Amino acid sequence: MEAYILEWLNLLVRWLHMITGIAWIGSSFYFVWLDNHLLPTHDAAADAKGVGGELWSVHGGSFYHAQKYRVAPAAIPDPLHWFKWEAYSTWMSGMFLLILVYWYGAEVYLIDPRVAELSAAQAVGIAAAFIVGGWVVYDALCRSPLVRNEKLFSAVLLLLVGLLAWSLCELFGGRGAYIHFGVVLGTIMVANVFFIIIPGQKKMVAAAARGDAPDPADGIRAKQRSVHNTYFTLPVLFAMTSNHFAMTYGHEYNWAILVAISVAGALIRVYFVARHKGKASLVPIVIAALLLLTVAVLIAPAVRTASAATTGQFADVREIIESRCVSCHSATPTNPAFPAAPGGVMFDNDQQVRAEAARIHQQTVVTRVMPIGNLTNMEEDERQLIDQWFRSGAMEQGND
């Protein structure tokens, strides 16, 4: 029953996380687009009121007229809409999921003894330290004189992000490392909203309400962090969906793959932000495409010549699957952590094993991410036997 309740919690909170994430990212992308499409106003009255840019748009059968003030209006309107709870709700639901899946189930989803021998308490403590430390280091970097040199700042930030990816992959299983990489970046994004963007906006509103001129520095800092957030978005989205792609997190050089895909995502966002402003260079898109293509080519599995399959091979493989995999991948799993077969994949009979031969080989031999956390202690010679069976024509064998 405990596993069933946890499954429902996983479903509901994951759904909530997706909904709030769409709301946050959607509003963020919209305001970046809006800000970059504003045109100078031709209305003398609007200009006199402090309007620095405006935009007309049509959507859903209606016309909209958006105006941006150079600093603030003379009087603060009521109501004034804020955009913050989308970010907070996304982070809170994401942290709940992280605790539920990766911390509560650390032995399954976070720890990999082949990478580092850690207890659950050690792994969770290290993970929490990375999340907090990521913000502390990033914020210190943003407050340093380095931030005034955009190119140098970006280079140092990229170096630190690469170090983060490498460190996580040296401590945790690939799946857990990737998700924590995303959580560190996502936490930085939310902390930017909570500690910098919203407080800066509150100061500007308070000053305007008093009749004072708002300090432009508050807006400049908020804008800077908002720009950083938009470039973090696509790398975070990849990290959050990476558990579906064992070919990346299960690879020997998973940290380098993570960095390359993250850089590609940031470059794609660079292009679209520039595109909002008008004609944009295709260089960022081309570099991103080349990065993704290079990764795809470099991690492609080697092709070997197949030999003749034997009945004995399948019998041996069937025994391995029964002892190492069926506790989870069955119509009636015996592993208490899984009330139902993960992904609906079951190995209860010969036909099911043969039908999933390619997946079995990919997960146990190529990426080596299964059995998850190697909870059933699959041996190296067993993986080699599965490799031999698959390459000898596993799916073409008839019934034994």
Q: Tell me how crowded residue 118 is: count the other CB atoms within 10 A of its CB.
A: 19
Continuous H helices in 38-119: 44-48, 85-97, 106-109
- Report d(CA 345, CA 352) in Å as an integer: 8
Give the CA distances from residue 236 to residues 15, 205, 222, in Å, rounded to whole numbers and listed in that order.
17, 31, 20
pTM of the predicted structure, to 2 decimals: 0.89
The confidence score (pLDDT) of residue 400 equals 44
> Do 251 and 367 meet the contact criterion of CB atoms below 8 Å apart?
yes
Could you give the dihedral angle defined by the CA atoms of residues 272, 277, 282 and 285, in that order, rounded to the nearest 10 degrees? -10
Split the chain (400 residues) into runs of 10 and give each run's mean pLDDT.
86 96 96 94 94 96 95 88 96 97 94 94 98 98 94 97 98 97 98 96 90 85 94 97 94 97 98 91 97 96 62 86 94 87 91 91 92 90 92 63
Nearest to 85 by CA among 23, 15, 12: 23
Q: How many CA atoms lie within 13 A of 218 on its CB side?
A: 19
- Tokens 């407080």 belong to residue: 199
The CA angle 221-224-228, to the nearest 5 degrees, is: 140
- As to burial, measured by CB atoms within 10 angstroms (0-12 exposed, 13-18 middle, 19+ buried), residue 360 is buried
Rg (CA), the chain: 26
Nearest to 375 by CA among 153, 48, 114: 114
- Tokens 């030999």 belong to residue: 307
* Sequence-separated (6 or more) residues with CB below 8 Å from residue 235: 182, 185, 261, 262, 263, 265, 266
Residue 325 is given by DSSP the state: T
- Report d(CA 145, CA 148) in Å as an integer: 6
> Do 237 and 250 meet the contact criterion of CB atoms below 8 Å apart?
no
Give the CA distances from residue 146 to residues 132, 143, 151, 155, in Å, rounded to whole numbers and listed in that order.
22, 8, 9, 11
> Do 141 and 156 meet the contact criterion of CB atoms below 8 Å apart?
yes
Continuous H helices in 112-249: 120-143, 150-171, 174-191, 198-210, 216-241, 246-249
Q: Report which residue type is found at 332.
A: T
The confidence score (pLDDT) of residue 313 equals 85
- Report d(CA 335, CA 2) in Å as an integer: 12
- DSSP E strands in the chain: the ranges are 51-59, 62-69
Residue 377 is given by DSSP the state: -
- State whether residue 318 is helix, strand or coil: helix
- As to burial, measured by CB atoms within 10 angstroms (0-12 exposed, 13-18 middle, 19+ buried), residue 324 is buried
Q: What confidence tens digit (pLDDT) does each residue in 271-306 have?
A: 999 999 888 999 999 999 999 999 999 999 876 555
> Do 242 and 178 meet the contact criterion of CB atoms below 8 Å apart?
yes
